[in-house]
Amino acid sequence: MDLLASIFVDPFLRMAGNPTFLTQVVWEGFVSGILYALVALGFVLIYKASGVFNFAQGIMMVFAALALVGLAEMGMPAWGALVAAVGVMLILAIGIERLVLRPLVNQPDIILLMATIGLTRFLVGLGEMVFGGEPKVMITEGLGIPTGVVRVPLFGKFLILKEIDITAAVVAVLMVGFLAVFFARTKIGRALRAVADDHQAALSVGISLERIWVIVWFAAGIVALVTGIMWGARSQVSFDLEVIALKALPVLILGGFTSVPGAIVGGLVIGIGEKVGEIYWGRLLGGGIESWLAYLIALGFLLYRPQGLFGEKIIERV
């Protein structure tokens, strides 16, 4: 009975008893969710346009942030380093298209996935060689990112919001909005959607696949840079940030591989779900359940909808 009460009653009493804290928990989940969604967004962009499940998105994030901080450490002004980091991502996108994607065109999914894993190892080695393995502090002041704390009164108590988290949320929303407009309104965006629909049909109407791929990988690189800046500012810029990319997998699977809104909603579901689960139920199991809770949530949804929340319905024919 006690056990049942501790599962089904107590957590809700705790939630009702301290609504400020509940809001705080949901906010923290929201922020993690937004940041997971940003990583997932990079995956979705690439998957949509080139059918590649880009495992290297995590390391691209680290690489972009490292390039930014590394260049700033070498004496570049912060904004100069930002521009240079964008340049690095462009070079990377061109390089990947030339050396990896072009020769591997039309290969099965798993081979392309494997190629990006190879790319991951390459980038890890290159990044450590060029920028060193030491963790670096994100140049928040140089970029004008606020790092203070805001206290908002709520239900007689205080909600503690990190300015960096607010910034992350705003940037993520702007980014998604920009991408949505880009896809819907520009010529390149239309070409991108055409390629996503059907490679060959797109080719036949004169869309250059190579150029589209470069653009998509570059866009994913920019998303990676932004994500890297945000995660780097929350903790520090080091190679272990790469594991964050794994957290994007359940988000992606939940939202569907091809859906931008799916990535956002998936991120929020996972982010908030795992925080609320950990805080209100985690103690029953000794804590630390976050590491697998996200996958369990995703699994639950998948059993209900095997193609993810926003994925295209899978129609199987013999």
Partner 1 sequence: MLYREVGQFKTTYAADMAVFPIRQDRIGILAMVAIAAVGVPLVANDFVLTSIMIPGLIFTLAAIGLNILTGYAGQISLGTGAFMGVGAYAAYKLANAFPEVNILVWIVTSGVFSAMIGVVFGLPSLRIKGLYLAVTTLAAQFFLEWCFVRIGWLTDYSSSGAIEAVRRSLAGMPITGPEAEPLTRYFVVLALVIGLTWVTSNLVHGRIGRTWMMVRDMDIAAELMGVRLLPAKLLAFAVSSYLAGVAGAMMVFFWLGAAEPSAFGISLSFQVLFMVIIGGLGSLLGSWLGAAFIWALPVVLKFAPGLVGIEIASATVEHLNSMIVGALIIFFLIVEPHGLARLWAVTKQKLRVWPFPW
Partner 2 sequence: MFKPMALAFSVASTLAVVLPAVPAQAEDSLYVPLLTYRTGPYAGSGIGIADGMHDYLEMLNQRDGGIGGVKIAIEECETGYNSQKGVECYEATKGKGALVYNPWSTGITLQLIPKAGVDKIPVLSMAYGLSAAADGKTFPWVFNPPMTYWDGASVAVKYIGGKEGGLAKLKGKTIGFIYLDAPYGKEPIPLLEDLAKEYGFKLMKYPVPGDKMQDQSSQWLNVQSDSPDWMIMWGWGAMNPTAVKEAAKIGYPMDHFIGVWFSGGDDDAKAGGAGAKGFLTLNFNGTGAGYPALADIKKYVVAKGLSQVKGDDRVGENNYNHGVYNSMLIAEAIRNAQKIAGKKMVDAADVRAGLETLNIDAARIEAMGLKDFMAPMKVTCDDHSGENSVYVQQWDGAKWTKVSDWIEPMKDKIRPMLVADAKAYADKNAPWPARTEACGGR
User: If binding is defined by CB under 8 A, does position 15 make contact with partner 1?
Assistant: no
Q: Which of 147, 152, 172, 142 is nearest to 162 (CA)?
A: 147
User: If binding is defined by CB under 8 A, does position 126 make contact with partner 1?
Assistant: yes
Q: Which of 146, 219, 206, 208 is nearest to 176 (CA)?
A: 219
Binding residue (CB under 8 A) for partner 1 from 40, 46, 123, 219:
123
User: If binding is defined by CB under 8 A, does position 291 make contact with partner 2?
Assistant: yes
Helix ranges restricted to H, 132-259: 140-143, 163-185, 187-197, 199-204, 209-234, 244-255
Binding residue (CB under 8 A) for partner 1 from 75, 129, 200, 204:
129
Binding residue (CB under 8 A) for partner 1 from 14, 128, 154, 174:
128
Determine the interface stretch with partner 2 among 88-96, 126-134, 207-215, 300-308 (rule: CB under 8 A): 126-134
Q: Distance (Å, rounded) from C-alpha 231 to C-alpha 51?
A: 27
Nearby residues of 211 by Cβ (< 8 Å), 6 or more positions away? none
What 3-state class would DSSP assign to 290? helix
CA angle (253 as vertex; 251, 258 as ends), nearest 5: 100
Burial group, residue 138, by CB count within 10 angstroms (0-12, 13-18, 19+): buried
Is the distance from CB of 42 to CB of 227 less than 8 angstroms? Answer: yes
User: If binding is defined by CB under 8 A, does position 23 make contact with partner 2?
Assistant: no
Determine the interface stretch with partner 2 among 215-223, 261-269, 278-286, 304-312 (rule: CB under 8 A): 278-286
User: If binding is defined by CB under 8 A, does position 167 make contact with partner 2?
Assistant: no
Residues that bind partner 2 (CB under 8 A): 18, 21, 24-25, 28, 31-32, 128, 132-135, 137, 147, 149, 160, 162, 231, 234-236, 238-244, 246-247, 274-275, 278-279, 282-283, 286-288, 290-291
Residues that bind partner 1 (CB under 8 A): 53, 99-100, 103-104, 107-111, 114-115, 117-126, 128-129, 133, 246, 249-250, 253, 257, 285-286, 288-289, 291-292, 295-296, 298-299, 302-303, 306-308, 314, 316, 318
